[in-house]
Structure 1
Amino acid sequence: MRKILTFLGTGRYEESTIHIDELEFRERVFPLALIRYYKMQKPDEELSVFFFLTSEARDNKNWVEYTLPSLEAEQVRYEALEIPKDIETLDKTLGLIKEMIGVLSEGDEVVLDVTHCFRDIPLTASVVALYLKEVLDVKITILYGKFDSVKNETHCTDLTFVTQLVEWIYAARVFKEYGYSNELGALADQRNRRIYKTANLSKKPKYLASMRLPLQYLTDALRLGSIRSIRESVRRFLVTFEKESTLNQEIHEYVPELELLMPSIIQRYKMVDTGASSFVLDEREIATERELMKFYLDTRDIGMALRLAREYMINILLYKEGLANFVFDRDKREEISRFLGETDSLRKARNHVAHFGFNDSNSLTDVNTIEQHLRKLIDTDIDELYNEMMKNKQDLEASSYAVVSSLGLTEGALYTILNHYNPNLLIVVTSKEGAKILPSILEKTQFKGECHVVNVEDPYTGKEEIARVSKEVTGYLENTRKVVINLTGGTTLLNYMLLKVGDEARHGKTIKTVLAVDKRPYEEQKVNPYVVGEVVELD
């Protein structure tokens, strides 16, 4: 629905010839000409008019004598709304906002006529209208009847271009707050298209159109979090300015709104640019990854910073260990990730964010704490980080294994594993019947370490116990660095549970999955189970 929002004052209004597009009207009150214009242009369109009047204006002849009779004659749907004389306080401004909100609905086509506004009301009404444009998604047209006293003519002037400045304000805020520039690129492209539609311009921009796509691709890459896309798109954008000096001149001439922002845009994106045409893991790359992590923190994208933090530390290890060629090798990255020494809060927070919280019933670690950890990581010299990770590696290699094993009703497999690895921690997943033979196995192997038994009520079909068992076992493994998982000796279900444990506990740990093999005849094994067999390490 089209809605005209207009004002009347108490001044002296002279009848004049009002020009709106190619049409002429003789009226004393400008909004009456607007009403006639829209009724002629779109006779079937619903039209409502809202007059915002002070108490003085409501009693004035401009309303009583010059406007009301015409409204009745035109059979126009109208409403008169009272407003204060001066909109000079926040409370009164909010009152005007409420009045305007009360008459508008989402999707309306709104004509704001400020011809007969007075004092500070035109400015306030325009700002309010621009706000409502964004909030209610209404289309706003701002019109002003410019009176020529010499010719006794009034010309309708479209001031809607003022609303475009609000779009630039929004785009500038998005860039300053979040570092995303696609909105700025889109507005520059709109300006370029508008210029080319203006036939009477002899000189038109040649390079302005080249801004939109690079800024869009760069913004998408930053939001997606793809390192190669970020590298390629930021380089493409910066090269655009390095090659085309004319582009800066065109921005100055045709898009002055953007000119003031360009130095900060280029500076911000240069910080995350390696200068290389392709990805190379070197000191420059690591330095720009640190800047990229800082970029995400500064723009409050904590989730992205969390994701990048782990990869940043892995890249330091790869580079320092001479493994830069493995930078995109998933297996190698996973292999060395156990040396990171990542704080538990960061690891849990990253996993929480990566799965959108659906992998964890617990709430996310306090965001301020996460940010403090990330800031500390950024501020730490890469050599210091590398030395810390090397110490983690040495500690890991020097530590003894924990053994997680299933246990059925025979002793041999677990006996072999305990003799082979001599662990200081043993976790046995078994049934009540299987648990009965465990003391004998521990005695025969002279096991002196810490032992935990995780009982399974139904070791054959108890799939509903999988989650509980996995959680209980991983809890025991929380402070261990090296784990052996033995898949021999228990039922198929018990061994499947152990595979789930390995998947859950793999972060920051070295995990070996093994089999115990006794090649003796079965009858001989039954008679004497306590013979050390072979161990096959699967990974």
Structure 2
Amino acid sequence: MKALCFLGTGKYQAVTYTWVDTDGNAKSYSTELFPEAVYHIFEPSMVYVFVTKEAKERYLPKLQERLKDKLYPVDIPDGKSEGQLWEIFEKCADIVKDGDEIILDITHAFRSLPLIVFTVAMYLRQTKNVTVKHIVYGAFEARDENNCAPIFDLTAMVDLLDWINGVNAFVNYAAAEIFAEKLVHTQKKLRMGGGTISSELPTHLQEIGKKLRTLSLNLHMNRPIEVMKDANDLLSMLGRAQAELQTWAKPFAAIAKTLSKEISELAYAEAEKLTKQNLEKQLAIIAYCIRKNLIIQALTLARELAINCLFFSCGMKDRWLKQREREEIEKLINSYAQEQREESQKDGRIEPSCPDELKASLGRIWKDISTVRNDIAHCGMRESPIRADTAVEKAKGIYDELRRLLDHISE
């Protein structure tokens, strides 16, 4: 385990720094230089201390005398420009190797260095599989009448950044893995703490996490029926867990209301029953996928929604999930797109009663979907592939066409 510490140029005074761990055990050490307390309290294998030229001249000799070969000084600039800040960032990152455990100490860090420390912590966790054991701050200003100062554990701030990443992933890409992991881990950690189970500890966080993961997976795997069910279940779970979220998962609770509003657009309890509301929910899922930049999913769902609209309009609501019938309806719509059908094609096939206006609308939409979807499905392997940004715009146009189609379909 490595400790990354800083030395400034302040007038440091001796104080007894005290650390209390999660089990209530306390450790103390008296010194005016906090990196020394870090070494004796947390027992890292090496203390890396980052020093400017002035700090090096003022305090480093004293610290070297006390920690000897356990101290490794790292020269850094004053941090007075963006370039110097990047240099400090790179020196912090270079010290740490893959799989290291680290303690970050910001007690004597000056100006913007604490922000750099937090940034380094997130960067190392993502790129080098580093475990941030603690981010500590020796609160000299909070010392008591006995000249004892607490050591604050700020590691929860890194945890908060994880939640922020979770918000970003879900809000922008419908990716719920970070949320799911945080919620499941939070409940397990709390309920296993001390080997006892308390009725006051959370009981709903884990189920919300798992349901979020399932909803996200079904969105990415084009399972609209399951998405409607998952969203409906999740709304109920979020309603039951409001108090728990406020107590045990505040970062998630802060966006729970927004999340509920968003997924309510997708929720439908009778997802396997073909109704006008079901069609509307399918269209809402397409809009949701477009907003999250899941264009392949949106186009694939648009194709199936076109088929479902014909099932619904022609009174075949009880047959919409039968594979053979779907194949026949697909061929039928394809013929609308081709604007011609030979008499031999009709023999033995489903031939629902369908208004000519609906046939024409479905034919136009089917053409548009097929053009973009086939280009994407074949990975643009053709002489004149559709540009990716053009495909996005075409997906939005197809959504608008489906919206107009549904507006003219009545229950």
User: After superposition, what is the alpha-carbon deviation per residue over 1:378-400, rounded to whole angstroms, capped at 9, x for unaligned?
Assistant: 2236674899xxxxxxxxxxxxx
The whole-number CA distance in structure 2 between the counterparts of 1:15 and 1:178 is 51
Q: Which whole-Å deviations, capped at 9, do the CAs of 1:167-212 have from their partners, x for residues lacking one?
A: 1100111121023444324323333334332779883334344312
Q: What TM-score, normalized to structure 1?
A: 0.62
**Kept after mapping to 2: 8 A contact 1:205/1:250:** yes
Q: Note if 1:58 corresponds to 2:56.
A: yes
Q: Structure 1 residues 210, 120: CA separation in 2 closer, same or farther (over 3 Å shift)?
A: same
Q: What is the rounded CA distance, in whole Å, between the counterparts of 1:238 and 1:228 in structure 2?
A: 16
Larger relative CO (CA 8 A, sep 6+): 1 or 2? 2
- 2: CA distance, partners of 1:226 / 1:81: 56
Find the aligned partners of 1:289 and 1:150 in 2 and give their Cα distance. Answer: 66
CA distance in 2, matches of 1:25, 1:108: 25
CA contact (8 A) 1:207 1:250 kept: yes
**One of 253, 264, 267 as aligned partner of 1:273:** 267
Match for residue 172 of structure 2 among 173, 177, 180:
177
Instruction: Give me the whole-angstrom Cα distance separating, in 2, the residues matched to 1:17 and 1:363.
Output: 73
Provide the residue aligned with 1:32 in structure 2.
36
Q: Distance in 1 between matches of 2:402 and 2:125?
A: 49
Partner residue in 2 for 1:373: 394
Task: Pick from 44, 47, 50 the counterpart of residue 49 of structure 1.
Answer: 47
Structure 2 CA distance for partners of 1:327 and 1:71, relative to 1, 3 Å: same
TM-score (normalised: structure 2): 0.79
One-letter amino acid matched to 1:296: C
Give the equivalent residue in structure 2 for 1:124: 116
Q: Map of 1:133-532 to 2, 5 A cutoff?
A: 133-140=125-132, 141-147=134-140, 148=143, 150-196=145-191, 197=193, 203-241=200-238, 244=240, 247-276=241-270, 278-337=271-330, 338=334, 339-340=336-337, 341=363, 342=365, 346-354=369-377, 357=379, 360-362=381-383, 364-380=385-401, 384=405
Contact kept, 8 Å, 1:52 with 1:83, in 2: the verdict is: no
Question: Is residue 99 of structure 1 aligned with residue 116 of structure 2?
Answer: no
Residue of structure 2 equivalent to 1:495: none
Higher-strand-fraction structure: 1
**What secondary structure is seen at the aligned counterpart in 2 of 1:205?**
coil
Q: Is the 8 A contact 1:345 1:370 kept in 2?
A: no
Q: Which residue of 2 aligns with 1:510?
A: none
For the 8 Å contact 1:320–1:386, the answer to whether it is kept is: no
Residue 363 of structure 1: how far off its partner (Å): 6.7
Distance in 2 (CA, whole Å) between partners of 1:11 and 1:369 is: 59
Q: Any conservation in 2 of the 1:345–1:365 contact (CA below 8 Å)?
A: no
Note the C-alpha offset of 1:114.
Answer: 1.2
After the TM superposition, list the runs of 4 or more consecutive aligned residues in structure 1 that deviate by more than 4 angstroms.
198-202, 342-345, 361-364, 381-387
Kept after mapping to 2: 8 A contact 1:346/1:370: no
For these two proteins, the number of residue pairs brought into alignment is: 369
Residue 297 to residue 230, structure 1, CA distance change in 2 (3 Å): same
d(CA) in 2 for partners of 1:263, 1:347 = 38
Identity of aligned residues (%): 22
RMSD over equivalenced CA pairs, Å: 3.0
Q: Alpha carbons of 1:158 and 1:260: their partners in 2 closer, same or farther (altered >3 Å)?
A: closer
Indicate if the aligned counterparts of 1:5 and 1:112 stay in contact, CA closer than 8 A.
Answer: yes
Structure 1 residues 366 and 310, CA, compared in 2 at 3 Å: closer, same or farther? same
The alignment partner of 2:139 has SS state of: strand
